[in-house]
Amino acid sequence: MTVYDNGTAIGSVKADENGNWRFTPETALKDGSHSLTASVMDSIGQVSPTTGGFGIVIDTQPPAPATDLVVSD
């Protein structure tokens, strides 16, 4: 299986005997919107159409600190 990020191949993985697989890209995804898709190749080399996109947003920036807090009891 080949995994794509916004149409660009970012790696591949083989499924186990039960069809399960896990993928971690070698290079971390950059901040922003990503659409992950995949395609598979069978044992005779035929490649499937890519799957529909799975959208995610990467945001590694921490939020700004809270200010002007008022605590009352």
Would residue 68 count as lying in a domain? no
* Tens of pLDDT, residues 45-67: 999 999 999 999 999 999 999 88
Cβ contact 35:55 at 8 Å: yes
- Count CB-CB contacts under 10 A for residue 8: 6
Would residue 40 count as lying in a domain? yes
Would residue 47 count as lying in a domain? yes
Would residue 67 count as lying in a domain? no
pTM, two decimal places: 0.78
**Residue 40 scores a pLDDT above 90:** yes
> How is residue 50 written in tokens?
């890519």
